[in-house]
Amino acid sequence: MKKADVIVVGAGPSGLRTAARLARAGLDVRVHEKKPRVGAGIVCTGIVGREVFDDFGLDRGAVVAEMGTVRLVSPSGTELVYTHPRPFACVVDREKFDIGLAAAAEAAGATVACGGAVDDISVGPDGVEIAVRDAEGGVRRESAAVAVLATGVDFGLQKKLGLSAPREFLKGAQVECSFPGAGTTTLFFGRDVAPGAFAWSVPSGPGRARVGVLTHRDARACLRGLIERHLGGPGLREEGPVRSRPVAQGLLDRTFGDRVLAVGEAAGQTKTTTGGGISYGLACADLAAEAILECFDRSSFGPASLSGYERRWKGLLRKEILVGHTTRRMCARLSDGRIESLFQLARTDGIVPIIRATADFDRHSGLIFALLERLSFMSFFRDVRDRLGPFSAS
C-alpha cells in the first residue's frame, strides 16, 4: 500500500478531529479503529460545554438534552438545587457525535477504517510502520511519515515508543436507565456512593438517564449501591448493560517522540476534576494538527520538530490538569460529615454566587481558587489553597 502522510490510531473524538484537520489541509490521512464501527460500545455520559459546537464548528444534531439546573445530593440525602443563569452544557449521544466527526474527517478526504487493531508500531529513518490485525487475525503493514496515537486509555503503543502513560486512574461505570425523574440532572456525593469522586444521573432522552459513578474503588459495586439506595424503585428499568472504563488522571511527562505524538486521553488530556475529556481532546487535536502541518512544511519530523505540540498543549491545560488533580485528590479525603457541612454552608452563605460568577464548564481552576479562598477559614481548605499557591498567580 502507498505510504500515507499520517496514520491516526483510534477513531474517538481526538483522533477524528486531528484527521479532519490534516486532511482538510491536503494530507493523505488514514484512521485505524479497532472497533467494528465508529461509536461502538462507548462508555461516556456525553456532557460537553455549550461552546464546544461553535468553538469547533460542530453540528448540534447529536445533542439530546441541555443542562442549566443541577440537583446536588449529600451523603445523608440533603438536596441543593443550583440553577445557572443560562444553560451551560449539552448532553450528546456520543455514538452520533463520533459518527459526525468521522463524517467530517471523511468529507475532508481522510480514510476511516474500522475493525483493525494496530498491534505494533515502529519508527525508522524514513517513516513509521504499523501492523494492523483484522478480526480474522490477518495482519497487514502500512507506513506513513507521522503517526498520531489517539487510543484513549490503551497505552500499549506509546509505551513501546517511550512516550509517557498515566500512572493514576479513576474507575468509571455507567448504565442507561429509565425512571420517573430521569429528566433532572443530579450529582451524588459521599463515601458510600462514590468514594474519591462523585456519581450522577444525567438525562439522555425522554424518561431516560445515564446513571454513572466515578471512583477509586469498585465502580460497578458503587453503581449498584447508587441505584439501590437513591434511584431504586418499581419505576426504574435498566435499558442496557453496565459498562465500565478507567479515566486517566494527571499530567503526562512526554507526549511526543520521533515522528509520533499522542493526543486526547492517550496524552492525559482530561479534566482531573470530573474526568471529562471530549473538549480537551478536540482542542489538543487542533494543536496536534497544527504541529504536524509545520513538520510537513519543513520536511522535518523528528522530536525537535514535534516538541512545540507539547509546549502548546501544556500551555493551554497544564494548570487546569494539576490544580484539578491536587484538589480532587485532597477532596477525596473529605469525610461525609465535612461534605454535609459544605452543603449546609452552600445553603446559607455566599458559595452559590461564587459559583455563578466564576464557573466555567471546561476550566475549573478559577472556581477552585475562589471557593478555596471563601472556605479558607477551615484549615482543611486553607491547606489545599496553600498547596496550590504556586498556581494561583500563573
Ligand X SMILES: Cc1cc2nc3c(=O)[nH]c(=O)nc-3n(C[C@H](O)[C@H](O)[C@H](O)COP(=O)(O)OP(=O)(O)OC[C@H]3O[C@@H](n4cnc5c(N)ncnc54)[C@H](O)[C@@H]3O)c2cc1C
Q: Which of 152, 196, 268, 324 touches ligand X (CB under 6 A)?
A: 152
Task: Work out whether 324 is an interface residue with ligand X (CB under 6 A).
Answer: no
Identify which range of 53-61, 140-148, 251-259, 277-285 contacts ligand X by CB under 6 A: 277-285
- Enter the C-alpha cell of residue 383: 491547606
| 139 and 131 Cβ atoms separated by less than 8 Å | yes
- Tell me the C-alpha distance between 260 and 128, whole Å: 8
What is the smallest separation between the CB atom of 338 and ligand X, expressed in angstroms? 26
Of the pair 75, 275, the CB lying nearest ligand X is at 275
277 binds ligand X (CB under 6 A): yes
- Report the half-sphere exposure of 192 (CA within 13 A, side-chain side): 14
**121 contacts 130 by C-beta, under 8 angstroms:** yes
Q: How far is the CB of 230 from ligand X (least distance, A)?
A: 17
Burial of 183 (0-12, 13-18, 19+ CB in 10 A): middle
In whole angstroms, the minimum distance from the beta carbon of 389 to ligand X comes to 29
* Identity of residue 357: A
**Footprint of ligand X on 168-207 (CB under 6 A):** 172, 174
Judged by CB under 6 A, the residue of 4, 10, 163, 323 near ligand X is: 10
Answer yes or no: are the C-beta atoms of 7 and 142 closer than 8 Å: yes
C-alpha Rg value of the chain to the nearest Å: 22
- Which of 6, 8, 9, 227 is the binder for ligand X (CB under 6 A)? 9
- 4, 14, 163, 222: residue in contact with ligand X (rule CB under 6 A): 14
- Is 166:252 a contact under the CB 8 Å cutoff? yes
HSE-up (13 A, CA, CB side) for residue 200: 23
**Which residues between 22 and 81 bind ligand X (CB under 6 A)?**
32-35, 43-48
Q: Which of residues 256-275 bind ligand X (CB under 6 A)?
A: 264-266, 270, 275
**Residue position matching grid coordinates 477559614:** 377
Q: Contact, 386 vs 330, CB < 8 A?
A: no
Torsion angle in degrees (nearest 10) through CA of 153, 156, 158, 159:
120
Among 12, 100, 196, 257, binds ligand X (CB under 6 A): 12
Per CB under 6 A, contacts with ligand X among 90-149 are 117-118
Site string for ligand X, 291-320 (x = CB under 6 A): ------------------------------
Q: Which is nearer to ligand X, 32 or 385 (CB)?
A: 32
Q: Which residues make up the interface to ligand X (CB under 6 A)?
A: 9-15, 32-35, 43-48, 117-118, 150-152, 154, 157, 172, 174, 212, 245, 247, 264-266, 270, 275-278, 281
